[in-house]
Structure 1
């Protein structure tokens, strides 16, 4: 392995921690939480399954190769989009505004984070020598009905 490699910062997702059997529980999620791979498969939540598996593989690889890994797990990211087409997140928020809430029913309360805050989080965990482990990146946690109310008021 490259001896000059100091740290790797991996972007994971809150999906790697929030898919659990007691999804409607108010039990707080933290950096020790992991999504249930079996539940992701049974509900066909392929994004969450892939994110959890990829992050676990990265932790295993970095541990074996003595690489300093820090992961950032953003919640539902909102903000301007670079491509001209809507990304899946923006499409989902637009669907919420149109009253199409079925895809959010299993989520219950969700965390949301602005894209610039996600970028800042990556910089901070890369530059701070004491940073280690997993960092959940979320600015607020609200029900999707509350989000619709906030967005429609704007």
Structure 2
């Protein structure tokens, strides 16, 4: 495993989670809700093809390593360690696994999930990417990538370590003509907050909960965005690619969870980006 992957992603995820759980155990906290990710569920090539993933499915750690998917590995390691800690100590731990989280921002800076939507509206022209070019030191470049693009850090590092920063930046700053018509699993940040409250307050809550609301193809997502905001720079065509996995929040809904319409999430997200000066 590359050292920077362990230092930047996996070690903080696992140690940070366990440190909090140990403190909760010492403080006799009754229940701990750990926010994991759909990334800890969906990367499993052994899962039966076409079968909807539920809470029994875990991302395959070895597959994460062989495919260099360190983000998924960090989430899987942290969540599995949290549940193992619960078994060993008796601490009541419940985990919630959201997918792509959109919704209005509370802060002026942009997180990696919001960037997924913003770059689709801007045609991939991201000022936060350009700022990375100021980093000359490899270690600092790695840290800057994590801040700027979240899970996109590895594409940046690959090009950087191959002395190809300029061409990499052009990939991210030029607009795109086409996009893979992949499946997106989206949930509103406010609905995630409601899920966390339910998992904390409901006595019957236990184990893992997948938290996803809307399953939509990129083409259909852009059709919806264009009907709401027609003046942004959208891709002109779509390509068919890999077969995507799907997940179900049925277990969470049985707990009493519901979610708002996708259109509300999109409008509230975009209006908050505009208010923060992120979008024109």
TM-score normalized by the length of structure 1: 0.86
* Aligned equivalent of 1:149: 223
* Aligned equivalent of 1:115: 189
| Structure number having the greater strand percentage | 1
Is residue 150 of structure 2 the alignment partner of residue 76 of structure 1?
no
Which of structures 1 and 2 has the larger relative contact order (alpha carbons within 8 angstroms, sep 6+)? 1
Deviation by residue 1:68-125 (Cα, 9 ceiling, x = unmatched): 11101111101112231221111112223427599x85x9423110000000000011
Is residue 93 of structure 2 the alignment partner of residue 19 of structure 1?
no
Q: 1:133 to 1:101 in 2, by over 3 A?
A: farther
Deviates more, 1:13-22 or 1:71-80: 13-22
Give the conservation status (yes or no) of the 8 Å contact 1:111–1:139: yes
Is residue 127 of structure 2 the alignment partner of residue 53 of structure 1?
no
* Aligned equivalent of 2:88: 64
Larger radius of gyration: 2
Q: Secondary structure at the match of 2:41?
A: helix
Aligned-residue RMSD, C-alpha: 2.6
* Aligned equivalent of 2:57: 33
Q: Which runs of 5+ in 1 are unaligned?
A: none
Q: Distance in 1 between matches of 2:87 and 2:195?
A: 22
Give the conservation status (yes or no) of the 8 Å contact 1:81–1:87: no
TM-score normalized by the length of structure 2: 0.49
TM-aligned CA deviation for residue 18 of structure 1: 0.7
Q: Distance in 1 between matches of 2:65 and 2:95?
A: 23
Is residue 30 of structure 2 the alignment partner of residue 6 of structure 1?
yes
Q: Secondary structure at the match of 2:26?
A: coil
Q: 1:151 to 1:41 in 2, by over 3 A?
A: farther
Q: What is the aligned length?
A: 152
| Structure number having the greater helix percentage | 2
* Aligned equivalent of 1:126: 200
